[in-house]
């Protein structure tokens, strides 16, 4: 199964992806995580990406397309994969369709997460993230048991640099301007599955499974 999770920053894609990879047995390909890894490694790509990410803008399409093209050739993607944070522009969506078609494959579903803007700002501005495993916490509603330490892996839990209020607003504007047309692209191809992404994590998870026709048996 080839799946893409689509939605504004803070809509819960990363959290749901963690639960879905268990249920579906396919890897999560998060372009945001890949870029954060590049930043940690101190590579040239990481340095350039950091400047763009700190402003809440998008990394150029050619960079992102190349990154995904390499990643989906890895052996763990043979049985399918779940994209998280890609595609974010119509050019990326078209390039993805072309690269999959070249291998006789196609994106099965694009799950679009709907959350209102006020809720997104509240979620992002209080968000805390484990720098090791990516688990998400929140200053008001979901603190880790030990301050600053991830419940799941013991990694350091902190605010993401791009979750500052002014950057959050830019990221949401970028989503509306460049990324929303991606939903129209998939809608016109009949592959968009819109789900209401407010509510508890398990409610949203059930809605996603229903939208994609359930987890494969066996």
18 is catalytic: no
Residue 8 beta carbon to ligand AMP: minimum distance, rounded to whole angstroms: 9
Nearer Cβ to ligand AMP (64/107)? 64
Task: Please name the residues in contact with 81: beta carbons below 8 A apart, sequence gap of 6 or more.
Answer: 2, 3, 26, 27, 28, 29, 72
* Closest distance of CB 60 from ligand AMP, Å: 7
- Nearer Cβ to ligand AMP (98/215): 98
Cross-strand bridge partners of residue 136: 129
The residue among 182 and 212 lying less far from ligand AMP, judged by its C-beta, is: 182
- The catalytic residue among 36, 123, 160, 207 is 160
Please indicate whether residue 106 is annotated as part of the active site: no
36 is catalytic: no
Residues 6+ apart with CB under 8 A from 28: 17, 18, 20, 21, 81, 82, 84
Which of 95, 93, 100, 78 lies closest to 25, judged by CA?
78
- Which positions lie near ligand AMP, rule CB under 6 A? 9, 31-32, 35, 52-53, 56-59, 64, 85-86, 88, 92, 162, 171
Measured CA to CA, the distance from residue 12 to residue 177 in angstroms comes to 20
The catalytic residue positions are 13, 88, 127, 160, 171
């Amino acid at each position: 199964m080839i799946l893409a999770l689509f939605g504004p920053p803070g809509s819960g894609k990363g959290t749901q992806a963690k639960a879905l990879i268990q249920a579906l047995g396919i890897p999560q390909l998060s372009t945001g995580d890949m870029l954060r890894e590049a930043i940690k490694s101190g590579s040239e790509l990481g340095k350039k990406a950091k400047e763009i990410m700190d402003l809440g803008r998008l990394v150029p399409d050619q960079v992102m397309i190349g990154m995904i093209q390499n990643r989906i050739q890895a052996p763990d993607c043979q049985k399918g994969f779940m994209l998280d944070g890609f595609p974010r522009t119509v050019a990326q969506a078209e390039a993805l369709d072309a690269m999959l078609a070249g291998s006789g494959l196609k994106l099965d579903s694009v799950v679009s997460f709907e959350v209102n803007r006020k809720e997104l700002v509240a979620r992002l501005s209080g968000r805390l993230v484990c720098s090791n495993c990516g688990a998400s916490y929140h200053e008001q509603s979901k603190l880790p048991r030990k301050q600053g330490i991830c419940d799941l892996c013991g990694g350091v839990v902190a605010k993401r640099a791009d979750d500052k209020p002014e950057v959050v607003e830019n990221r949401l504007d970028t989503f509306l301007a460049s990324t929303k047309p991606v939903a129209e692209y998939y809608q016109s191809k009949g592959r968009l599955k819109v789900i209401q992404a407010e509510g508890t994590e398990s409610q949203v998870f059930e809605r996603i499974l229903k939208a994609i026709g359930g987890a494969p048996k066996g």
